[in-house]
Every structure is written in structure tokens, then in C-alpha cells.
């Protein structure tokens, strides 16, 4: 089980300085915290601030870790209600290529 800090650092590493997202995305893990991805800034920034985003992805931290590990398919998680997307769904699709 990764800590929120480890997930935040890992996401920053995967995104790099220029992810090409040109948008903001918030991962809301409920009581486990938030990871905010600012892909519109240069260089990209990843923090744990609770800011407004173009796309908000709500899921448990456990399900997120399973998804990144390849044990849980994002589409399946969405269909099962384990993954909720608010805002620009196209951004969530772009993320699959970066995180998957």
C-alpha cells in the first residue's frame, strides 16, 4: 500500500515537466486525500491541494493502486461504479496513456 505522498511523487515522475495534458485533474481518494495534477502549467505540477479542476476522478486509493498496477481496468472500474468522473471525460481518457 502506497502512501498519498508516494502516489503524488510517482504521478509527478510519470507526468514529467511536459505531459501534454494542458489541463488540471484532481484525484479525490475521499478520506485518503487528494492528488491535484496541474498539467496546464510549465513545468507540470503535482500537489495535494484541493483545487478546482477541469476533470475530477473519484475513487478509493486501493482501486487507484490496482488500476496503476494493471490489476483493475479503468473501463471496468467505471462500469462497476468504483471510478466516478466529473467534468471533461476526454481528459480521463488521455490519462490512461500516461498512467497505464
Give the pLDDT score at 18: 85
Residue 97 or 91, more confident: 91
- Structural domain tally of the chain? 1
Q: What are the phi and psi torsion angles at 28 (to 5°)?
A: -105, 110
42: containing domain:
4-99
How far apart CA 22 and CA 41 sit, in angstroms, is 8
What's this model's pTM, rounded to 2 decimal places?
Answer: 0.91
pLDDT tops 60 at residue 100: no
Opening angle at CA 74, ends 70 and 76, nearest 5: 105
CATH number of the CATH domain containing 89: 3.30.1050.10
pLDDT tops 90 at residue 95: no
Give the pLDDT score at 17: 85
* Each residue's pLDDT tens digit, 13-50: 988 888 888 899 999 999 999 999 999 998 999 999 99
Amino acid at each position: 500500500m502506497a502512501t498519498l505522498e508516494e502516489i503524488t511523487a510517482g504521478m509527478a515522475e510519470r507526468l514529467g515537466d511536459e505531459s501534454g495534458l494542458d489541463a488540471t485533474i484532481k484525484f479525490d481518494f475521499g478520506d485518503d486525500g487528494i492528488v491535484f495534477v496541474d498539467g496546464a502549467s510549465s513545468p507540470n505540477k503535482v500537489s495535494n491541494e484541493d483545487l478546482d479542476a477541469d476533470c475530477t476522478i473519484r475513487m478509493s486509493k486501493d482501486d487507484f493502486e490496482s488500476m496503476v498496477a494493471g490489476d483493475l481496468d479503468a473501463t471496468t472500474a467505471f462500469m462497476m461504479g468504483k471510478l466516478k468522473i466529473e467534468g471533461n471525460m476526454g481528459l480521463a481518457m488521455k490519462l490512461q496513456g500516461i498512467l497505464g
